[in-house]
């Protein structure tokens, strides 16, 4: 039978560090959730508006905790860090290749936070022929119904490069509710 004493001794020495990592992760997660609730309470944002940021933060905390725990228990993470750096470099190259799509995604998040319009509002880009009632919001496009009945799909990053004229609609739907739908609001 192998001598387990050195293994048990080593394991007992790492338990306090592992507990510190787990407790730190729980405290960080609690602080992030509390901070997002406070942000929602102190601004015009709702808890539904900040929920995606909480989920992203939770996933980041879980991944970092697992990596730190593996390091505490003596797993060699040199290959993992090399792989993560390689993936990060590939993501950076991919980011350059798809910057327009990512720009629209980030602009959608800013639209959700700043709420320049709602589904049901009439909007118009000043000095341009883009005008209509907002019927749908996706992570890439905002769909408008023009007066002549045609549908316009405006990239979300356009709302940050043009002057926007808005008339509040009678039956407005919040953008957060619209993004959680599986079907467009009105086509």
Choosing from 35, 68, 97, the residue where a domain stops is: 97
Q: Is residue 93 domain-shared with residue 14, that is, in the same domain?
A: yes
Same domain, yes or no: 59 and 113: no
User: The domain spanning residue 174 has which CATH number?
Assistant: 2.30.30.60
pLDDT of residue 187: 46
Q: Which of 64, 97, 130 is the last residue of a domain?
A: 97
pLDDT the model gives residue 58:
92
Residue 19's pLDDT is 92
User: What range does the domain containing 141 cover?
Assistant: 108-180
Q: Report mean pLDDT in 10-residue bins for the chain, 187 residues.
A: 74 87 94 89 81 88 88 78 82 76 83 84 89 88 91 89 84 64 59
- What pLDDT does residue 137 have? 85
Q: Are 117 and 136 in contact (CB under 8 A)?
A: no
CA atoms of 184 and 119, how far apart (whole Å): 10
pLDDT of residue 2: 66
- Provide the pLDDT for residue 145: 93
């Amino acid at each position: 039978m192998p001598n387990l004493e050195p293994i048990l001794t080593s394991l007992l020495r790492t338990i306090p560090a592992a507990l510190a990592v787990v407790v730190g992760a729980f405290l960080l997660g609690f602080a992030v959730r509390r901070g997002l609730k406070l942000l929602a309470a102190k601004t015009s944002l709702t808890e539904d508006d900040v929920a995606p940021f909480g989920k992203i933060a939770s996933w980041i905390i879980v991944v970092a905790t697992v990596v730190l725990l593996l390091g505490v228990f003596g797993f060699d993470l040199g290959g993992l860090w090399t792989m993560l750096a390689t993936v990060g470099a590939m993501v950076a190259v991919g980011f350059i290749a798809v910057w327009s799509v990512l720009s629209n995604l980030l602009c959608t998040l800013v639209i959700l936070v700043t709420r320049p319009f709602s589904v049901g509002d009439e909007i118009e880009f000043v000095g341009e022929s883009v005008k209509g009632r907002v019927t749908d919001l996706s992570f890439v496009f905002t769909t408008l119904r023009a007066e002549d009945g045609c549908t316009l799909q405006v990239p979300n990053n356009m709302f940050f490069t043009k002057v926007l004229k808005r008339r509040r609609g009678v039956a407005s739907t919040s953008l957060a509710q619209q993004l959680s739908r599986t079907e467009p609001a009105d086509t």
